Amino acid sequence: MSELLRLKGVSRRFSGLQALRDVNLSVFRGEVLGLIGPNGAGKTTLVNTICGVTPADKGSIVFDGTDITRIKTYKAARRGLARTFQIVQPFGEFSALDNVAAAALFSRPGTSLPSARAAAREHLALVGLEAQADQPASTLTLAMRKRLELAKALAMRPKLLFLDEVNAGLNSAEVQRATQLIHQLAARGITIVMIEHLMKVVLNVCTRIVVLHNGHPIADGIPRQVISDPAVVEAYLGQQYAQRSMGLG
């Protein structure tokens, strides 16, 4: 697989807090990368830094052959970086269809409204919301709003898709449906980086895992290898979970 994204020595400080510290990371085309670690480890900050929300203080970020270290958020979106947010905030008065169409219009200047709405219907169908297309976003359940958030990101035709805790707040059936959808997206060749605390989901869908702790990667590798790493067990998983996952307890 060829490299799509490379971070070299990326750091970010907020006042007295060193949120990211000398992060070196590559993401390869077509992979599903799990980004895990304790709360406050710097996972969302890392995504924000890549997407231009909080630019790096030091280091460099190269995406698809272009340096994007100081890129503006709208330019990052138009280059093919799309994301979902853990706390979903759709345009409540807009229909589900127009929420997705707005994302298509924003990311592709010159797109006509009819073509944006046609594309929006396709993305809503993909995430299972075709029946809710004309429903105001404010009336959707949390699970539906999560899927709407994903449809909006897909409407931007991403080269790299960041999923920030898409399963947070969902029940087991909803998590299973979301996991199946991620598998479908991966099968389409979309490169995915997902922040996730549910390890059963991470182990089910990710081809590689990177673990952040105190703003710095402490492990990077295939899932089964990473979850047995002593540093990861100590910093994040705990001995009991690691033993269960490896079939030792």
Same domain, 53 and 172: yes
153 found inside a domain:
yes
Whether 68 and 166 map to the same domain: the answer is yes
Per-residue HEC secondary structure of the chain comes to: CCEEEEEEEEEEEECCEEEEEEEEEEEECCCEEEEECCCCCCHHHHHHHHHCCCCCCEEEEEECCEECCCCCHHHHHHHCEEECCCCCCCCCCCEHHHHHHHHHHHHCCCCCHHHHHHHHHHHHHHCCCHHHCCCEHHHCCHHHHHHHHHHHHHCCCCCEEEEECCCCCCCHHHHHHHHHHHHHHHHCCCEEEEECCCHHHHHHHCCEEEEEECCEEEEEECHHHHHCCHHHHHHHHCHHHHHHHCCCC
Residue 86 located in a structural domain: no
Question: Has residue 78 got a pLDDT over 70?
Answer: yes
Instruction: State whether 63 and 177 are in the same domain.
Output: yes
Residues 23 and 75 in one domain: yes
Which pLDDT tens digit goes with each residue over 114-125? 999 999 999 999
pLDDT of 249 over the 80 cut: no
Identify the pLDDT of residue 247: 52
Checking if the pLDDT of 88 tops 50, the result is yes
Do 203 and 241 fall into the same domain?
yes
> Range of 141's domain?
91-157
* Cα–Cα dist 212/219, whole Å: 8
Segment 188-202 mean pLDDT: 93
118-169 pLDDT per residue, tens: 999 999 999 999 999 999 999 999 999 999 999 999 999 999 999 999 998 8
> Based on the structure, what is the number of domains in the chain?
2
Q: Are 41 and 215 in contact (CB under 8 A)?
A: yes
- Verify that 163 and 149 share a domain, yes or no: no
Residue 235: give its domain's CATH number: 3.40.50.300
